[in-house]
Amino acid sequence: MIYVGYIIEVMKRINGTIWLTIILTLIIVGPGNAYRLPADLTETCDPVLQEGLEKSLISLNLEKATHHKSLSIVLVDITDPSSPRMAYVNPNEMMYAASLPKIAILLGAFERISNGEMTLDPQTRETMARMIRNSSNRAANEILNRVGKAYLADLLQSSRYRLYDPEKNGGLWVGKEYSKAGAWKRDPLHNLSHGATALQVARFYYMLQTGRLVSPELSRQMKSILADPAIEHKFVKGLKSVHPDSRIYRKSGTWKQYHSDSAIIEHDGRRYIAVALAKSSRGGKWLSDLIVAMDDLIFKSAPADLAKN
C-alpha cells in the first residue's frame, strides 16, 4: 500500500510574503512495516550473494561462458525491497533477446492506458496476456502498433525510466515488429532489433515490484499479466522441478542460439528477481540448471533476520 503525506512548514515572513516549504514524503507500507525505497538498483553487489553466484557458475561448468560473455546474469533478492541484495556477471552486456523485450511493449501499453490513449478492456488485456504468457508474435505486433514504435523507443530512453541507457551500454530495445518485416530502428549502440541487458531487465522488474512503472495500481496490473506463464521451459522448467508451488512472473525469449529468461519469483517467504541471457545452442539447458542454483543461493545466503521469516 502506498501513502503520500505532506509536511508543511511555515517559514519567516520576507518582505510581506509568507514563504512555505512543502516536503513530499512517499512511504511504501508493507505488511507490518514501513520503509523508504532506494531510488534504483545500483551495481553494488552483495559479497555473500556474489561469491555464491560465482561458485555456482563454476559447479555448473558455466565459468567459461561468462568469461567469453556468452552468458550474462543478474540476481536480486528483493524480499526486503528497501534493501535489495544483488549479484551479477556481465550485467551490462547487450545481447539479442528475442521475445523478452515484449515486456517493454507491455510498459508502453500501460503508459498509453494511463494517459487515456488506450483502454484496458477485456480484449486488450487478453491480447497482452497472449503476448506475454504465450509469447504470441501476432499479439505483440498488435499492441506495439497501438502503442507506436517511436513512442516506445522514446519511453525506453526517457529520463524517467532509462531502460535503454547509452551510459550503461544499452538495455531494453524493440526496433522491429515480431515478423519478417525489416527493422524500423535498430538500437543505436549495437544495431540489434530486439535487445536487452540483464541489468536493465532487472531494473524493469524492480520498478514493477515497487510500484514505479507507470503507477502503483498499473504496476500491479502489469505484474498480473506476467503471471501464469504458458511455456514451460528454462526458468519455469527448472523451478517447477524443485519448487512446483513457486509463483513466477516471467518473460522469456528464444531464437536460434539465443536464449533468455527473466522473472520475479516468490515462494516460502522470499522474493527475488532473476535474469539471464545466453548465446549458445545449450542455452535453454543452462538457464534451467542456473535457476535451480540461484534459487538455492537466495535461501542459503539470506541474512539471519530475514531467513527466519
Band the pLDDT of 204: cuts 50, 70, 90.
very high
On the question of pLDDT at 271 being above 80, the answer is yes
Amino acid letter, 242 = V
CATH topology of domain 2-307: Beta-lactamase (3.40.710)
CA dihedral 121, 124, 127, 128 (to 10 degrees): -100
Whole-model pTM: value is 0.87
SS3 213: coil
Phi, psi of 195, rounded to the nearest 5 degrees: -130, 170
Domain locations in the chain as residue ranges = 2-307
Spatial distance between the Cα atoms of 115 and 229, rounded to a whole number of angstroms = 28
What pLDDT score does 42 carry? 78
The string of pLDDT tens digits covering residues 12-46 is: 333 444 343 333 333 333 333 333 456 578 778 99
On the question of pLDDT at 284 being above 60, the answer is yes
Spatial distance between the Cα atoms of 201 and 53, rounded to a whole number of angstroms = 18
Summary mean pLDDT of the chain: 89
What pLDDT score does 40 carry? 79
On the question of pLDDT at 299 being above 60, the answer is yes
The string of pLDDT tens digits covering residues 51-86 is: 999 999 999 999 999 999 999 999 999 999 999 999
User: DSSP letter string over 65-125?
Assistant: HHHTTSEEEEEEE-SSTTS-EEEEESTT--EE-TTTTHHHHHHHHHHHHHTTSS---HHHH
